[in-house]
Amino acid sequence: MADKQIDPALIADHNQNALADMLADYDALGAKLARQNVDIEQLTQKAVDFGVAIPSWGVGTGGTRFARFPGLGEPRNIYEKLADCAVIAQLSQATPTVSLHIPWDRPDDPAELRETAASWGLGIDAMNSNTFQDHDDMPLSFKYGSLSHTDEAVREQAIAHNIDCIEIGQKLGSKALTVWIGDGTNFPGQQSFTRSFERYLEAMKKVYAALPDDWRVFIEHKIYEPAFYSTVIQDWGSNYLAAKELGDKAQCLVDLGHHAPGVNIEMIVARLFQFGKLGGFHFNDSKYGDDDLDAGSINPYQLFLVFNELVDAELSNPSGFNPAYMLDQSHNVTDPIESLISSAVEVQRAYIQALLVDRAKLADYQDTNDVMMANRTLKSAYITDVSPILAMARHRAGGAIDPITTYRATGYRETVGKQRPARKGSGGGIV
Ligand code: LRH
Ligand code: MN
Ligand code: MN
């Protein structure tokens, strides 16, 4: 039995107040769905089974690369980050795991960290390596790149760091390494596109060789930033080529904020899955670039369309379907616990809405080129308010019917505010 961060009696109290309305809404939705031959109970079970990992760095309020605005009770170490993640998990019942970033979360005693996480009912998701900044304990600088650096000694330092992340991850029970590099150039002519990619591949082969049999490595692409002219792994094309070159354990990770505005991300998802290379996601939302805003806050239709492809993929090839779902967000204008709860719920919502798509009808409309009805089929799933299903799933799993209101009532933020004095700082770091 896991320890609880929030008193279950307080959650039960709040749920009691919200229960009658929730049940009425659930029954009404159940009746409506039954008329479409959809069993609401099956959807509720899918919502109960759904999980998305919390990024450890998301519970801080570091925020932008321009400045830090420390929030009340900001976690100061990985244990405090896990405590906040446990609150999110308990209230939302949708975030069973935490994704760690090294060196930010380097544990002194991995076995103890694993136990602490488990005591709160949390598992450890993918390990994220970091060669986009210099480390105090490393002699060489990543200023001009890491895995693709011109200097072999820097590349070896970056390889060793990635292998270190795998080794820490093994002790924590993780099964995946996510590699995002900031390597690239700011000026035309600064580097050779071809030779940089060759050096990257050669280095990644060494990281790949260190992967345990049951691990995967997720390669994350990003169009630009911190490099503004060219980036070594800039899009899904380079990502796919790298993953293909490395082998079956290498797959592509899609961070929703890492594409040019207007790019059809859902189509990238379909292509990667079709060719066995869809590894996972960093869910977030954005208006302009890698804004790292809450999932579903700017373009919820895009999130739904991504899940529409995922549900389609799962139905077409269930045995080949195993993408890792993570959030990746970090900003500084909301309480991060509230934002992460909200994102988890929005990702879960998109999944349930996508399950509502009448796929047999859609395929018919597609085959007969009935464009209007094909589009309406998607839209009718998207405009269905599945909130009662999400609320019921939380309730049944021991979470909160209304997680953000319940969170506010716990006074958790005020309590940790007293226990964790604020840290001042100037740089935010590039996330
Ligand atoms: C890069 C990124 C990547 C990093 C994280 C902190 O922009 O999305 O996933 O590991 O931010
Ligand atoms: Mn990311
Ligand atoms: Mn990013």
Nearest Cα neighbor of 312 from 263, 339, 278 is: 278
| Among protein residues, the one whose CA lies closest to atom 5 of ligand 1 | 431
Interior angle at CA 256, CA 113 and CA 403, nearest 5: 55
Number of helices (H), then strands (E), belonging to the chain: the values are 15, 10
The verdict on residue 138 lying in a domain is: yes
Phi/psi of residue 116, nearest 5 degrees: -60, -45
**189: its two tokens:** 């002519």
The verdict on residue 428 lying in a domain is: no
Helices (H), 173-212: 193-209
pLDDT at 427: 37
**Which residues neighbour 331 within 8 Å (Cβ) at sequence distance 6 or greater?**
61, 63, 64, 291, 292, 293, 339
Q: Three-state SS string across 124-188, please?
A: EEEEECCCCCCCCCCCCCCCCCCCCCCCHHHHHHHHHHHHHHHHHHHHHCCCEEEECCCCEECCC
Q: What is the DSSP pairing of strand 230-231 with strand 184-185?
A: antiparallel
Classified as helix, coil or strand, 377 is: helix
Ligand having the closest approach to the CA of 101: 1
Per-10-residue mean pLDDT of the chain, 431 residues long, equals: 87 98 98 98 98 96 74 94 98 98 97 98 98 97 98 98 98 98 98 98 99 98 98 98 98 98 97 98 97 97 98 95 96 93 99 98 98 98 98 98 98 96 53 41
Distance between Cα 406 and ligand 1 center (Å): 30
**288: its two tokens:** 């302009």
Mutate to test the pocket of ligand 1, among 128, 161, 288 (most ligand atoms within 8 A of CB): 128
The verdict on residue 40 lying in a domain is: no
pLDDT at 260: 97
Distance CA 281, CA 395 (A): 27
Structural domain of residue 291, as residue ranges?
51-349
| Among protein residues, the one whose CA lies closest to atom 11 of ligand 1 | 431
pLDDT at 423: 66
Q: Which atom of ligand 1 is nearest to the CA of 292?
A: 8
Number of CB atoms found within 10 A of residue 53's CB: 28
Phi/psi of residue 337, nearest 5 degrees: -65, -45
The verdict on residue 71 lying in a domain is: yes
Distance CA 203, CA 21 (A): 57
Distance CA 17, CA 364 (A): 45
Listing DSSP states for 345-360 in one string gives: HHHHHHHHHHHTS-HH
Does this model's pTM top 0.95? My answer is yes
ipTM over 0.85: yes
Q: How far are the Cα atoms of 102, 204, 273, 328, 334 from residue 407, in angstroms, in the given order?
A: 29, 43, 37, 21, 14
Distance CA 338, CA 302 (A): 22
The verdict on residue 256 lying in a domain is: yes
Residues enclosing ligand 1, CB less than 6 A? 57, 128, 180, 220, 222, 255, 282, 290, 328, 431
| Among protein residues, the one whose CA lies closest to atom 7 of ligand 1 | 431
The verdict on residue 336 lying in a domain is: yes
Domain containing residue 275: CATH number: 3.20.20.150
| Among protein residues, the one whose CA lies closest to atom 8 of ligand 1 | 431
Classified as helix, coil or strand, 324 is: strand
**Which residues neighbour 352 within 8 Å (Cβ) at sequence distance 6 or greater?**
43, 46, 47, 386, 389, 390
Amino acid in position 49: D
Q: Which atom of ligand 1 is nearest to the CA of 101?
A: 10
Distance CA 413, CA 419 (A): 10
Q: Which atom of ligand 1 is nearest to the CA of 290?
A: 7
Distance between Cα 102 and ligand 3 center (Å): 16
Rg of the chain in Å (alpha carbons)? 22
pLDDT at 256: 98
The verdict on residue 45 lying in a domain is: no
The verdict on residue 417 lying in a domain is: no
pLDDT at 88: 98
**200: its two tokens:** 């990257």
Distance between Cα 258 and ligand 3 center (Å): 6
Amino acid in position 299: N
Q: State how many domains the chain has.
A: 1
Q: What is the dihedral of CA 298, 301, 304, 309, to 10 degrees?
A: -120
Q: Please report, in angstroms and rounded to a whole number, the separation of the first and last CA atoms in the chain.
A: 35
| Among protein residues, the one whose CA lies closest to atom 9 of ligand 1 | 180
